[in-house]
Structure 1
Amino acid sequence: MSILQLKDVNTFYGGIHALKGISISVEKGEIVTLIGSNGAGKSTTLKTISGQVMPKTGSVIYEGKDISKQPAHLTAQTGIAHVPEGRRIFPRLTVKENLEMGAFIVKDKKIVKERMEKVFQYFPRLQERLSQKGGTMSGGEQQMLAIGRALMSKPRLLLLDEPSMGLAPVIVEQIFDIISDLNKEGMTILLVEQNAYQALQVAHRGYVIQTGEIVMAGQGQELITNEQVREAYLA
């Protein structure tokens, strides 16, 4: 059963036609990755899903409901969490305060505490840094915090935009291990990633996007062995 479908979505930035009639689907319990070069439309796809930009035409269907014109703050309340490119944590807030922001609509402090404890199971380092200002943390720690903040909303669909960007290889491995663990526990994930090999290794399925158009789709392992994909993104 599809938790998410994009149907013939066209998104513009002013006069720039960023997404040109793309159609993708994400089944419940899958990791689906979107790969492509810089400027191909990967981040715009996630922003269109989360309501940060509105498609001019086409539909974004989430759990059977058209959310194409729904603003981002409402989308965040319906079970979609977006970890943006560049992390976008609150640098002057502590780790604890950043995590609490992820559960801003939850009034029950006990639930907030329980969710935070769950985040610490994935990212024990955040518990060690609880009173530290987010902006003073390393890039890897900030990425952990950005994902942890998203998990505080207990999403049914997690949108991850370039989680490995700028990180050391050992931290990248940790982040992808956690992505796999989240999925094994039932989390549905749509992953945008410049590191195509890493993304396709963990993904059930993938789409290749070029200049705002989906040009290829297939199982993760199929795309890894596809000659065109290897030449363009895995060389």
Structure 2
Amino acid sequence: MALLEIKNMSAYYGVIQALNGMNVEVDKGEIVTLIGSNGAGKSTALKTISGLVKAKEGSILYNGKDITSMPAHDTTLLGIAHVPEGRRIFPRMTVKENLRIGAFSVKSQKLIEERMEKVFHYFPKLKERLDQRGGTMSGGEQQMLAIGRALMMDPALLMLDEPSMGLAPIIVEQIFEIIKELNNAGVTILLVEQNAFQALQIANRGYVLQTGQIILEGVGSDLIHDKQIHEAYLA
């Protein structure tokens, strides 16, 4: 059974249709990427899965449970963590305060500290900046903080929206290495990324979105060499 199964999902912003009959499966342990141009519906797909946007049609199953109408705070408790586009950290709060917000549902102080140490394993720089306000950090450090905050939920499914956006190439390489490391540690990843080459290099499978519809799907390494994909997104 797939960890995440999206069936014929459609979503709207007012009268404007953003997703049209979307079908996606993510198996446990996979990295699956959604690629497409700006406005294709990639971010809307993640928002609809997490409950920030309501699906008008279709269904979303997580571990076999129907979460189509579930609000975002409940999907989080099920183990779905969403790192939104633009990072969306709390800029006036310190690194430590941002991380603790990620563990909002955890009552055990010991468990919070254990999860924080786990975050520091992936992002040691955050440990050096615990008392620094998030808004004073570089873009790359803020992205690390946004992912770290999501990891404080101990997610089974981590959804990342444009993690490379606005970052220097060397930082992008670091972020993608950490994504692979997280996946190797057992975290299932659903990755939205405009940098199609980077995404397909690490993905088990990929889906191509165009104006809210899936137009192509396949193994990541196959899609890299697909002529249509190469001309549209990799040239």
TM-score normalised to the size of structure 2? 1.00
Moved >4 Å (runs of 4+): none
1:123: Cα distance to partner? 0.2
Structure 2 gaps, min length 5 = none
Instruction: Identify the residue that residue 138 of structure 1 maps to in structure 2.
Output: 138
Give, as a single letter, the amino acid of the residue that structure 1 aligns with 2:25. S
1:128 Cα deviation from its structure 2 partner: 0.4
Aligned to 1:208: 208
CA distance in 2, matches of 1:221, 1:74: 35
CA shift, 1:71, in A, is: 0.4
- Indicate the percent of aligned positions where both proteins have the same amino acid: 69
Query: Partner residue of 1:20?
Result: 20
Could you tell me which residue of structure 1 aligns to residue 89 of structure 2? 89
Which residue does 2:149 correspond to in 1? 149
Alignment of 1:44-123 (within 5 A): 44-123=44-123
What is the CA RMSD across the aligned residues, in angstroms? 0.4
1:14-71: CA deviation from partner (whole Å, max 9, x where unpaired) = 0001000000000000000000000000000000000000100100000101100000
Question: Number of matched residues?
Answer: 235
Give per-residue Cα distances to partners, 1:147-171, cap 9 Å, x unaligned. Answer: 0000000000000000000000000
Match of 1:56, SS? strand
Deviations 1:212-235 (A, max 9, x none): 000000000000000000000001
C-alpha distance in 1 between matches for 2:46 and 2:103:
21
**What residue is the counterpart of 1:160 in the other structure?**
160
Cα distance in 2 for residues equivalent to 1:199 and 1:43: 15
Query: Structure 2: how far apart are the matches of 1:124 and 1:56?
Result: 42
Measured in 1, the distance between the counterparts of 2:72 and 2:199 equals: 26
- Amino acid in structure 1 at the alignment position of 2:137: M
Q: CA deviation at 1:126?
A: 0.2
Letter in 2 for 1:3: L
Alignment of 1:170 onto 2:170: yes
Tell me the amino acid that sits aligned with residue 163 of structure 2.
Answer: P
Q: 5+ unaligned residues in a row in structure 1: which ranges?
A: none
Q: Which residue of 2 aligns with 1:129?
A: 129
Distance 1:64 1:5 in 2: 8
Partner Cα distance (2:2, 2:29) in 1: 9
